[in-house]
Amino acid sequence: MKTTFLKIAFLSLSILAISSCSSNDESDPEIIIEPPVLNPGDLLTTQNVATYMVDANATKETVALFYNLKKLAKTKVAIGQQDAFNSFYQDNGGDSDIKKNTGSDPAILGSDFMFITDKNNNNQPDNWFYQQEEKITIATKAAYAKGIINNFCWHLREPIKEDSFYTVDMTADQKANAFKSILPGGANHEWYKKKLDKIASVLLNLKGSKGELIPIIFRPFHEFDGSWFWWGANFATAQEYKTAYQFTVDYLKNSKGVHNILYAFSPDNSYTTEANYLSRYPGDKYVDVLGMDNYGDFDNQGQSGANKANSKLKIIADLAKAKVKIAALTETGYQVTNAKMPITDWFSTYLYSALTSNDIEVSYAMLWNNTKDAYFVPNGAVSNAADFKTFTTKSKMTLVNSLPKMYELPK
C-alpha cells in the first residue's frame, strides 16, 4: 500500500508540474498542491534547495539562507526590526533598542534602498544621502558578521519629480502615469534601470570578512494592494504590477549578475482568500518569500484582530508549504507615542498568538523602526518593556542569540 501511495503521489506531482509548465499564469489553482498529496516541502534537502529558489545561480550563502529560513519555521519565528542599529527611541543611541531590553540584538535587520537611490545621492563623502548609504552598508555588514539576516525594502520616489513615494503628495496625472512609465517601453524605463543599477552596485560590493557576498531579502513594491504608494492597485493593473516585478528580478539577476538576493512578495493585509493574495502574484519563478504587511489587524483590536491576522498568515503559510517558499510577517507593529499608550500584553499575547496559532509555520516577523518621539519596540526604560521581553523569551521566538547559523547549510 505504501509503494502504491508513493507512485500515486509522484504521478500527481508530475501532472501538476506539466500543467504548470503549460501556463504562464502562476495563480492557476492546479499548481497548488493540497494535502493529503505528498507535500514537496517535506522533500527539501540541502542538495535540491536551489531548485525551489528564484535564482538557480544564487551564492552558497544565499542558498543556505533560503534553506535555513524554511527549516526555521518548523520550530521558531525570527524577530527583527527596521533600522535597529540606526534609529532609537528618544535618540538614545548605542545598542539596538531590542538589545537594551533583552540583552540580544534582533534576528533580522531591516534597511531601505530609499536614500541609496535618491536623486540627490551624488556618491560624494560630504553628501548627506551618500552618508546614509554608508551608514546602511556599515550596519548591514555588522549585522551579517553577527549572524543576523538582512532585509531591504524600497520606498522609491515617483519617477516624474522624485519628490515622494506617497500618492497624497502627487497630482492626479502623476498618479495615473508614474507606474506605467517605468515599464519596458515606458518614458521612465531607463530611469528605473538606472535605479536598479545603483542597487546592483551596492549589493555587488556588500561583502563579508572573507570576501563573500552578503545575502539580503529584497521586498520591492510592497503594500501594493493599498493606494498610498504610487505602485498601488489603483494605479497599476495586475498585469502591469507583475511585469514590473518580473522585470526587476530578471534585470538584477540576469542583466546585472546579482546572485545574493531572496525576493519577497508582500501585500498589505487586505486579502482574505488565497485567490485575493495571488491576484498580483508574479509567479513562483520570481518569489522566494510569501509575506504580508499588517498593522491594521493589530491596531487596538484585541484577540479578534490577532485571530484575523493569524487566518491571513495561515493562507500564506499553507501556500509556502505547497510552493516550497518562505512565509513571513514582513512588517507589523503597534506604535506608541505620547498620545497613544501601549496595549497591555500586545506582544506576548496578541502578536504571539497571531504568529503561532493553528500550527502555522512562519519564518520571521519584522517590527517597524523606532524614532525620537515614538517606538514600535520598547527599550528597557518604558512601561511595556517586560511584555516585549516575555514575548522574545517564549520558546517559539528567536532573536540572534538563539538563531542557528543561517549562512551555512547543515552538514
- The grid coordinates listed for 98 are 531590542
Spatial CA neighbour of 32 closest among 47, 46, 51, 12 = 12
- Strand segments, DSSP code E, in 25-148 are 77-82, 108-112
Catalytic residue among 26, 61, 133, 331: 331
For the CA atoms of 8, 11, 12, 15, the dihedral, rounded to the nearest 10 degrees, stands at -160
- The grid coordinates listed for 117 are 537611490
C-alpha to C-alpha distances, 4 to 9, 11, 13, 15, 34, nearest whole angstrom: 9, 11, 14, 17, 19
Strand pairing category for 289-294 and 77-82: unpaired
| CB contact at 8 A, 108 and 123 | no
- DSSP label of 177: H
| CB contact at 8 A, 185 and 243 | no
Rounded CA separation 83/135 (Å): 10
Is the alpha carbon torsion for 105, 109, 115, 116 positive or negative? positive
Residue 2 neighbours by CB distance under 10 Å: 6
Q: Whose grid coordinates read 485571530?
A: 307
- Is position 61 annotated as part of the catalytic site? no
C-alpha to C-alpha distances, 221 to 50, 94, 217, 251, 360, nearest whole angstrom: 24, 32, 13, 15, 26
Catalytic residue among 223, 240, 274, 361: 223
Rounded CA separation 152/170 (Å): 25
Q: Whose grid coordinates read 540584538?
A: 105
Q: What angle do CA 287, 159, 255 make, to 5 degrees?
A: 45
| Active site (catalytic) residues | 223, 331
